[in-house]
C-alpha cells in the first residue's frame, strides 16, 4: 500500500448466515486503488464481487477489516456519517440503472447534487452539463421509459458523477446492454478514465475488463489473481465490443 491510495482495504471480510451455515462472501481482502486508476474485478457468479463493491461504497457493513477512502475510515463511521460520505464522495452505477421512472433524465441526474446540498439552480445546471457530456443533452426531458438501454445507463453514469465523486463504483454496468450500447458505455468509461476519474468496475464482460488498468480475479470471496493491463494488453474499443464471449 502507498499513502497515495484513494481507496484501501485491509483484512476485509463479510460473512452471512449463522455459525452452523456461515458464508464468507468476502474473505480477507487487501486492496489498494490509486487516484485515477481503473480497476476491473471479475469472477464467477457468487464469488463476492458485488458484495465487495457494496462494502467499498458503504452500502453494506463489513464483518471485519478496514476500509479507507482517502483519510476517512468507513468501517468506523456511524450511519449518518456514512450516508454523508456516500452522498459527497462516491458515485454508483448499477446493472439495472436504478433510475426513478417518474422523473425525467435531467431530474434523475440532479438528485444526488440536491442531496449533497447544491441549490436547485446549480443542480440543474450541473445535470444539464453532465447529460451533454454523456451525449444526451437532447434527451434531458425524456422519462427513462422513452430511452434505450444504453441511454438509460448513460443517464445513470451522469447521475453517478453529479456529486463530483472521488470514486465511481460500477456493478455490471453493461450486463443488460447489447453490443452497440456496450460500446457506448465502454467509450464513456474510457473518457472518464482519461479525465482522471477513479473507477472500480465489477463485470462478467471481458470487453470492459480489458480496458482497465488492472484486472483482479475473485473466487470464493478472495483475490486469486491480479494483472496489470497496459500498452498493447489493453484492447481497442472497436475490437473489444465484437469479442465472442
Within the chain, what is the greatest distance between any pair of CA atoms?
56
Three-state SS sequence of 146-183: HCCHHHHHHHHHHHHHCCCCCEEEEECCCCCCCHHHHH
**CA-to-CA dists, residue 117 to 93, 108, 121, angstroms:** 21, 16, 11
Q: Is 229 helix (H, G, I), strand (E, B) or coil?
A: coil
- Alpha carbon 72 to chain centroid, angstroms: 19
Which residues sit opposite 170 in a β-bridge? 93, 201
Tens digits of pLDDT across the chain (245 residues): 445 899 999 999 999 987 778 889 999 999 999 999 999 999 999 999 999 999 999 999 999 999 999 999 999 999 999 999 998 899 999 999 999 999 999 999 999 999 888 999 999 999 999 999 999 999 999 999 999 999 999 999 999 999 889 999 999 999 889 888 888 888 899 999 999 999 999 999 888 888 899 999 999 999 999 999 864 445 554 445 444 43
pLDDT number for residue 20 = 79
Residues whose CB is less than 8 angstroms from the CB of residue 223 and which lie 6 or more positions away in sequence, other chains included: 29, 30, 31, 216, 217
Q: Which helix (H) or strand (E) holds 32?
A: strand 21-33
**CA-to-CA dists, residue 40 to 15, 60, 168, 203, angstroms:** 23, 20, 12, 7
CATH class, range 7-240: alpha beta
Distance CA(161)–CA(165), nearest Å, equals: 6
Look-up of cell digits 457494496: 54
pLDDT number for residue 199 = 97
Task: State residue 75 phi and psi, 5-degree precision.
Answer: -70, -10
Contact 65, 122 (CB under 8 A): no
Q: Is 211 helix (H, G, I), strand (E, B) or coil?
A: coil
pTM: 0.90
**HSE-CB of 240 using CA atoms within 13 angstroms:** 22
Contact 67, 73 (CB under 8 A): yes
pLDDT number for residue 195 = 92
Domain ranges of the chain: 7-240
Residues whose CB is less than 8 angstroms from the CB of residue 164 and which lie 6 or more positions away in sequence, other chains included: none
pLDDT number for residue 236 = 52
Amino acid at each position: 500500500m502507498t499513502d497515495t491510495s484513494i481507496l484501501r482495504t485491509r483484512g476485509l471480510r463479510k460473512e452471512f448466515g449463522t455459525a452452523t451455515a456461515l458464508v464468507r462472501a468476502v474473505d480477507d481482502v487487501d486492496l489498494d486503488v490509486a487516484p485515477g486508476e481503473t480497476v476491473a474485478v471479475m469472477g464467477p457468479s457468487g464469488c463476492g464481487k458485488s458484495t465487495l463493491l457494496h462494502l467499498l461504497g458503504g452500502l453494506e457493513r463489513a464483518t471485519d477489516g478496514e476500509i479507507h477512502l482517502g483519510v476517512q475510515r468507513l468501517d468506523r463511521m456511524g450511519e449518518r456519517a456514512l450516508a454523508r460520505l456516500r452522498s459527497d464522495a462516491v458515485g454508483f452505477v448499477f446493472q439495472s440503472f436504478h433510475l426513478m421512472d417518474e422523473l425525467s433524465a435531467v431530474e434523475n441526474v440532479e438528485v444526488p447534487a440536491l442531496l449533497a446540498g447544491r441549490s436547485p439552480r446549480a443542480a440543474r445546471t450541473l445535470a444539464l452539463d453532465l447529460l451533454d457530456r454523456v451525449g444526451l443533452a437532447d434527451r434531458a426531458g425524456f422519462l427513462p421509459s422513452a430511452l434505450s438501454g444504453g441511454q438509460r445507463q448513460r443517464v445513470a453514469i451522469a447521475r453517478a458523477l453529479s456529486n463530483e465523486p472521488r470514486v465511481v463504483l460500477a456493478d455490471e454496468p453493461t450486463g443488460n446492454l447489447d453490443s452497440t450500447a456496450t460500446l457506448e458505455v465502454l467509450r464513456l468509461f474510457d473518457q472518464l478514465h482519461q479525465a482522471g476519474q477513479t473507477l472500480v468496475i465489477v463485470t462478467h464482460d471481458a470487453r470492459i475488463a480489458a480496458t482497465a488498468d488492472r484486472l483482479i480475479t475473485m473466487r470464493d470471496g478472495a483475490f486469486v489473481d491480479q494483472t496489470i493491463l497496459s500498452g498493447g494488453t489493453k484492447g481497442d474499443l472497436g475490437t473489444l465490443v465484437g469479442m465472442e464471449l
